[in-house]
Amino acid sequence: AQSVTQPDIHITVSEGASLELRCNYSYGATPYLFWYVQSPGQGLQLLLKYFSGDTLVQGIKGFEAEFKRSQSSFNLRKPSVHWSDAAEYFCAALITGGGNKLTFGTGTQLKVEL
Amino acid sequence: KAGVTQTPRYLIKTRGQQVTLSCSPISGHRSVSWYQQTPGQGLQFLFEYFSETQRNKGNFPGRFSGRQFSNSRSEMNVSTLELGDSALYLCASSPSLEETQYFGPGTRLLVL
């Protein structure tokens, strides 16, 4: 079955430390891939997306993600985390030919220690 | 450009009632999708509309329905509300199909 997996439910990092959030997908073909962030009581904000081409994509707020076909992964990274990055992060996939149906991972809750 | 707007932002209903939620997409966007977010089930796709036609539907009962108008605005309706329908309902718009979706702030529905 087509699915998106985020293995880490909660992650705690210290402010200024580096961050990597994991995302794996299970699809027959390479889907379009997205990372969204959600602050409490808010909607989802797009951080970055991968459709094709360069496997390292840059997003907003200093985030980047690397697509690795061999590992079916699309991990999100940030070199230095700020306290304002505390939020929930969702990886999502959209299969081509499937309209606009996004399949989301279960999310990773990021806590930042000052 | 203004973002996706959803009204109302908060709603309290009782079991058995029905509810209608509204979504106005980003100007020029022709596709609107709806998602339900709950702590137990996470983010789940409800349905999507493009040019007033429902293109895709998620695995939800027939009590959940929607429509899209000629100006791309969309509404979703839930009839005979159940306690389990309490959730954050998110609307997303995109210029067309298989493009990046931009989300609204959501409507938080509480069913008592």
3-class secondary structure, A62: helix
For B65-85, how does the pLDDT look when each residue is reduced to its tens digit (9 = 90+)? Answer: 999 999 999 999 999 999 999
pLDDT score at A92: 97
Nearest by CB: B45 against A36, A49, A101: A101
Return the structure tokens found at B28.
């020029």
Residue B4, pLDDT score: 97
Pick from A49, A100, A107: CB nearest B48: A100
Of the candidates A105, A108, A113, A109, the one whose C-alpha atom is nearest the C-alpha of residue A3 is A105
Interface check B66 vs A, CB under 8 A: no
Cα dist from A48 to A55, A68, B36, B85, whole Å: 12, 15, 22, 30
Contact B97 A32 (CB under 8 A): no
pLDDT attached to residue A18: 98
- pLDDT score at A35: 98
pLDDT for position A49: 96
One-letter amino acid at B111 equals V
Predicted local distance difference test score (pLDDT) of residue B2 = 86
Closest residue, chain A, to B99 (C-alpha): A100
Residue count of chain B, please give it.
Answer: 112
pLDDT of residue B6: 98
Residue B89: its pLDDT value, please? 98
Question: Percent of chain A having pLDDT more than 90?
Answer: 85
Q: Provide the pLDDT for residue A96.
A: 79
Range with lowest mean pLDDT among A95-104, B41-50, B102-111: A95-104
Low-confidence ranges of chain A (pLDDT < 70): none
The sign of the CA dihedral B97, B103, B104, B107 is positive
pLDDT, tens digit, 9 for 90 and up, residues A50-59: 998 899 999 9
Instruction: For chain A, give the percent of residues with pLDDT over 70.
Output: 100
- Residues from chain A contacting residue B103 (CB–CB below 8 Å): 36, 43-46
The reported pLDDT for the residue numbered B54 is 94
pLDDT at A93: 95
Candidates A100, A101, A108, A109, partner chain B, best to mutate (most B CBs within 10 A):
A100
Query: Residue B93: its pLDDT value, please?
Result: 97
Q: How many CB atoms neighbour CB B87 within 10 A?
A: 22
pLDDT of residue A95: 85
Residues on chain A touching B4 (C-beta within 8 angstroms) = 43
What pLDDT score was predicted for residue A2? 85
Q: What is the Cα–Cα distance from A101 to A4, expressed in whole angstroms?
A: 13
pLDDT at A100: 85
**How many A/B residue pairs have CB atoms within 8 Å?**
65
Please tell me if residue B56 touches chain A, with a CB cutoff of 8 Å.
yes
